Structure 1
């Protein structure tokens, strides 16, 4: 399970990270602001967000989750100091798995993740881009072919030989795909995306 902690207080974020790694089989990343969230989401593709509501950003945690849901499939648990019925009601509109009130301790974090785990494990659509996200990218046939070969773990040279293109042309296509998919232009970023979204590549 991949878990993204969205928390602008790094000490709290590190504490939550420590508890997760100590008690669960999971991969964890931390984002302390909206820009970091946008950087992390495309490559990490979390199954679960642990999200603060008050992030001192242009978007609060609730609005951020609503925005991210347009492109990504995930579950969310809010961790916040807000206890008002109004805020809880607003948070309920995104159907969180849990709503934890700060300060949170080891037991609260453990209970929330323990109860959320079966729900997440049963939903094979989590940790991916939303189904409607890929068609909006308007990929051409060559880009889809290359994605298919990347999924088959072919190297740039092997793809170039198969498609009778130059090594540099394929490299350029891979670079453009990373930009379209909002991925970091690194060796494994495109492969990770392809593996996580195999059903959308055709």
Structure 2
């Protein structure tokens, strides 16, 4: 399975530099570039990114932080900000979306590698872990429905809203699914399993 990376950067030269960096150092990755908020919206509707690298200063009405607040409310993905802003106030604003890292421009290969390598390696380990096919007959229809939404990277809060249930109910459902599938309830084990076995959930 390929890791899906979305680069949100309104300067094509910088976006291509980042793309070439990843292509040179890693295999099994799929890279997409969004130069505007409209292109981000289109991508997010059609794809589920594993990692987003987002510039903060975009040539649009909203900046990268506001844009990520919008998508982080619904979907789960690793996030790294890339920006020329260095102020404490700006960095504090990014805390709202829990980024993995914060890389200051101007970019060079060493700075980009150091700022992204650990995240890439963690994602690669997620997708190369031994796969165990399990029987889903023990799951209820509602549990399978929750699993499908988890596989599409929806957050617990957004799943609750879509199913008209409380977040507490969804959390309990996640716990039950983990027990039935013999999964650890940490390190995104359920999300990883759901993504890897999404084909089983479509049946």
- Answer whether TM exceeds 0.5 for this pair: yes
Shift in Å, 1:120? 3.2
Residue in 2 that maps onto 1:136: 162
**Larger relative contact order (C-alpha < 8 A, sep ≥ 6)?**
1
- Paired residues, number: 147
Residue in 1 that maps onto 2:142: none
Residue in 2 that maps onto 1:7: 9
Change (3 A) 1:127 1:8: farther
Correspondence list, 1:174-189, <5 A:
none
Unaligned runs of 5+ in 2: 128-148, 165-194
Instruction: Tell me the alpha carbon deviations over residues 124-146 of structure 1, each in whole angstroms, 9 at most, x when there is no partner.
Output: 899833054597289xxxxxxxx
Instruction: Tell me the alpha carbon deviations over residues 100-150 of structure 1, each in whole angstroms, 9 at most, x when there is no partner.
Output: 001111111112221112443566899833054597289xxxxxxxxxxxx
Structure 2 counterpart of 1:75, from 75, 78, 92? 78
Correspondence list, 1:1-202, <5 A:
1-25=3-27, 26-121=29-124, 128-131=152-155, 132-133=158-159, 136=162, 197=198
Counterpart CA distance in 1 for 2:40 and 2:23 is 20
Change (3 A) 1:127 1:121: farther
Counterpart CA distance in 2 for 1:126 and 1:6 is 24
> Matched residue of 2:66: which SS?
helix
Unaligned runs of 5+ in 1: 139-193
> Matched residue of 1:73: which SS?
coil
Change (3 A) 1:196 1:52: farther
Change (3 A) 1:71 1:198: farther
Instruction: Tell me the alpha carbon deviations over residues 45-79 of structure 1, each in whole angstroms, 9 at most, x when there is no partner.
Output: 11000000010212211111110112221010000
> Matched residue of 1:129: which SS?
coil
RMSD: 3.0
